[in-house]
Amino acid sequence: MLTLLSVNVSAQQKANDYFNQPLPGNVPEIFAAGIISDEFGNRDMAISPSGDELFYTLQFQGGRGFSTIMHSKKINKKWTQPEVASFCGKYNDMEPSFSSDGSKLYFVSSRPLHDTVNKDYDIWYVIKENGVWADPTNMGAPVNTAEDEYYPSVSRTGNVYFTRVVQGREEDIMMCKFQKNKYDTAVSLPDAVNSVGDEFNAFVDPDEKFILFTGYKRKGAYAAGNLYISNKNEKGEWMEAVDLGGVINQPGINYCPYITPDKKYFFFTSNRGSVKVPFAEKQNIQSLHKQMYSPLNGADNIYWMEAKVILQKVR
C-alpha cells in the first residue's frame, strides 16, 4: 500500500509539473486546453531548466494583430494564471527560449532601439537579477541585422541558431558561433538542413547533437509545414534531414519544436482543427459559436507528447 501511494503521489507531482495535465503518450495531445491552448493563437513555449517558469506566445490574427509573451510561475507547487510577461505588453514580442542554465531568456521583438520608431524583428534577451527579469537587451550585430531575425535557440556553448531571409533564397536556419567572448558572422546551415525554400523555427539540442525545424512545402511533405530532424555525424556535420512523419505532421502547418530540458517531453505548435465543412448536420448559432470558441477552431495551439518518440531518431 505504501509503495502504491508513493507511485500515485509521484504521478500527481509529475502532472503538476505541467499544469496538472494528464501526461501524454506517443501521440500528440493538445496542451493545457482552456488554460494555455484556448480559442486564440498560442504558440512557441519554453520551460525553465528548474521547471518552475513557463513562457509562451499569445498571438492575435496570426501575428497581423499583435503577439505578446505570456508567463506563468510555479509557486508552492501551484502554477499561477498566465499573465503578460513583465518585459512585454507594449510591442510585438514572441518566441521565448531559455539559455541552458536558465539565467537568460531570449526572445524576438520589433520594439525600437533607443529613439527609433520602426524596427524589424531582432533577437533580444533578459537576465534574471534577484529573482526578477531585468530590462531587455538587444543582441546587436552580427546576430541582428537590417533583416528580420526569428526563433532563437542557444546551445550550451553559446552558439545561437535562428531564422533569417537569405539573398537568392527564402528563410534559412542560421548560426552565429560564440567564441572568444563574441559572436562570429552568421552562416546558413548546409543544404542537408536548408533549401532554396523556407526553413524556419529551429530548436537545437543544447549539445548540438540534433536540430528540429520546419520546412515549408517540401516535396513529399505530409503538410504545408512539416517538422524535420537532422543529426550530426561523427565528423560534426549535419546529416540529411528526415521528416518526423504523419503522426506529428498533420495537415496545416506544424512548427515551433521544443524539447524540455529533462528531455521527457516534445512540444510543438500546430493549427490543425476540428471544424470540417460541410458539417455532418445543420448548424445553429449556438453550435457555431461553440466551435468558434473551441481551441480546435483552426488557430494555433500547443501540442505535446513523449520526447522519446523524437529522441529515438537521434543517432
Residue closest to 150 by CA, chosen among 67, 65, 50, 238: 67
The CA distance from 211 to 307, in Å, is: 14
- Within this chain, do residues 202 and 281 fall inside the same structural domain, yes or no? yes
Q: Is 35 inside any structural domain?
A: no
Which residue among 73, 107, 138 closes a domain?
138
The CA distance from 288 to 285, in Å, is: 5
Residue closest to 34 by CA, chosen among 45, 19, 44: 19
Q: Is the pLDDT of residue 15 over 70?
A: no
- Within this chain, do residues 64 and 176 fall inside the same structural domain, yes or no? no
Q: Is 254 inside any structural domain?
A: yes
Q: Is 22 inside any structural domain?
A: no
Amino acid occupying residue 101? D
- Within this chain, do residues 182 and 263 fall inside the same structural domain, yes or no? yes
First to last CA, the chain: 41
- Within this chain, do residues 298 and 167 fall inside the same structural domain, yes or no? yes
Write out the residue range of the structural domain in which residue 175 sits: 147-315
DSSP 1: -
> What sign results for the dihedral spanned by CA atoms 26, 29, 35, 40?
positive
Please calculate the CA angle 52-53-54 and round it to the nearest 5 degrees. Answer: 130
- Within this chain, do residues 101 and 165 fall inside the same structural domain, yes or no? no
Phi-psi category of residue 151: left, alpha or beta, with phi > 0 → left and psi -120 to 50 → alpha: left
pLDDT in tens, 59-100: 886 656 789 999 999 999 899 999 999 999 999 999 999 999
Q: How many helices (H) and strands (E) does the chain have?
A: 3, 24
pLDDT in tens, 225-282: 899 999 999 999 999 999 999 899 988 889 999 999 999 999 999 988 767 778 788 8
- Within this chain, do residues 222 and 169 fall inside the same structural domain, yes or no? yes
Distances (CA, A) of 126 to 46, 85, 304: 14, 11, 26
Residue closest to 160 by CA, chosen among 95, 69, 234: 95
The CA distance from 181 to 241, in Å, is: 31
Q: Is 205 inside any structural domain?
A: yes
Report whether 57 contacts 43 (CB < 8 A). Answer: yes
pLDDT in tens, 154-209: 999 999 999 999 887 889 999 999 999 999 999 999 999 998 889 999 999 999 99
Residue closest to 302 by CA, chosen among 66, 39, 59, 44: 44
pLDDT of residue 52: 94
DSSP letters along 195-248, please?
Answer: -SS-EEEEEE-TTSSEEEEEEES-TT-SSSEEEEEEEB-TTSPBPPPEE--TTT
- Within this chain, do residues 261 and 162 fall inside the same structural domain, yes or no? yes
- Within this chain, do residues 132 and 151 fall inside the same structural domain, yes or no? no
Tally of structural domains, the chain: 2
Q: Is 28 inside any structural domain?
A: no
Report whether 255 contacts 269 (CB < 8 A). Answer: yes
Q: Is 160 inside any structural domain?
A: yes
Q: Residue 310, SS3?
A: helix
pLDDT of residue 133: 95
Q: Is the pLDDT of residue 8 over 60?
A: no
pLDDT of residue 16: 67
The model's confidence at residue 223, banded by pLDDT at 50, 70 and 90, is: low
Q: Is 16 inside any structural domain?
A: no
pLDDT of residue 62: 63
pLDDT in tens, 131-162: 899 999 999 999 999 999 999 999 999 999 99
- Within this chain, do residues 133 and 175 fall inside the same structural domain, yes or no? no
pLDDT of residue 2: 41
Q: Is 19 inside any structural domain?
A: no
The CA distance from 296 to 307, in Å, is: 23
Q: What is the dihedral of CA 192, 197, 199, 200, to 10 degrees?
A: 160
- Within this chain, do residues 200 and 307 fall inside the same structural domain, yes or no? yes
Which residue among 138, 169, 203 closes a domain?
138
Q: Is the pLDDT of residue 110 over 90?
A: yes
pLDDT of residue 38: 86
Tell which wins on pLDDT, 17 or 240: 240
- Within this chain, do residues 64 and 179 fall inside the same structural domain, yes or no? no
- Within this chain, do residues 211 and 152 fall inside the same structural domain, yes or no? yes
